[in-house]
């Protein structure tokens, strides 16, 4: 885990950062539909799991820009940017109706990521513990698939004043609209390091990455 310390005085969002860490601590949440028609077709034709393919694309997107890799060190009051952030996915156990967090290391190489994610999921299926360990996994973002419903909006609430910077991303079941398959995706970012543009940009980059991935 490597990171660089951001010089607040030279940070391009300096004024925004100070306002939303001192005066108005809050987050930005946004839900939009992503066209996954081509990704669904690709997953079926290659006999690969759509869920892991999307997780890979999401990880690529969030690692493509420093704004999505920010962190905050409470002990030293420092804003940092990680070299890499990794997805924390989840395995749901039908018999207990509980889930187990799964830590998967991000790799730019698709085949490596796919194999690792698949292996991590299989190991987690044998576990029933909710072993979420944020302290030892600071550069991990939350990636949760809500498979039971295709929703229209979702909002993640954190305690007031809590400076939690890793992205929180959820997505639901895709559905057919006008002969296309669209999937609801929700993105939560801390307002100190992101605004409406940066939240919306995640969806634009997701569509761009999907189009490039299936080609």
128 pLDDT above the threshold of 80: no
Residue span of the structural domain in which 118 resides: 26-68+84-214
Predicted local distance difference test score (pLDDT) of residue 184: 98
- Find, among 191, 172, 190, the residue nearest to 31 by Cα: 172
At residue 82, the 3 state secondary structure works out as: strand
In a domain, 13, yes or no: no
In a domain, 134, yes or no: yes
Q: Are 166 and 133 in contact (CB under 8 A)?
A: no
Tens of pLDDT, residue by residue over 143-164, are 999 999 999 999 887 776 678 9
Using pLDDT thresholds of 50, 70 and 90, give the confidence band for residue 75.
confident
In a domain, 9, yes or no: no
pTM over 0.75: yes
- Which two three-digit tokens encode residue 208? 């761009």
Q: What is the average pLDDT value for the chain, to the nearest integer?
A: 94
The CATH number of the domain holding residue 155 is 3.30.559.10
Q: How many domains does the chain have?
A: 1
In a domain, 73, yes or no: no
Tell me the CA distances in angstroms from 28 to 14, 60, 115, 121, 200, one per residue in order.
17, 21, 33, 30, 10
């Amino acid at each position: 885990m490597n990171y660089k310390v951001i010089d607040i005085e030279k940070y391009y969002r300096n004024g925004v950062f100070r306002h939303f860490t001192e005066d108005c601590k809050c987050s930005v949440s946004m839900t939009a539909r992503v066209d996954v028609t081509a990704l669904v077709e690709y997953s079926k034709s290659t006999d690969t799991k759509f869920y892991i393919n999307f997780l890979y694309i999401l990880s690529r997107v969030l690692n493509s820009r420093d704004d999505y890799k920010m962190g905050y060190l409470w002990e030293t009051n420092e804003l940092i940017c990680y070299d890499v952030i990794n997805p924390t996915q989840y395995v749901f156990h039908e018999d207990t109706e509980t889930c187990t967090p799964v830590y998967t290391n991000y790799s730019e190489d698709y085949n490596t990521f796919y194999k690792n994610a698949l292996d991590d999921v299989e190991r987690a299926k044998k576990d029933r513990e909710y072993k979420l360990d944020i302290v030892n996994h600071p550069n991990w973002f939350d990636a949760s698939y809500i498979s039971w419903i295709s929703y229209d909006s979702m909002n993640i609430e954190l305690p007031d004043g809590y400076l939690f910077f890793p992205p929180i991303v959820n997505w639901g079941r895709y559905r057919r609209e006008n002969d296309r398959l669209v999937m609801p995706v929700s993105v939560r970012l801390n307002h100190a390091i992101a605004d409406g543009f940066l939240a919306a940009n995640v969806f634009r980059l997701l569509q761009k990455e999907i189009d490039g991935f299936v080609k």
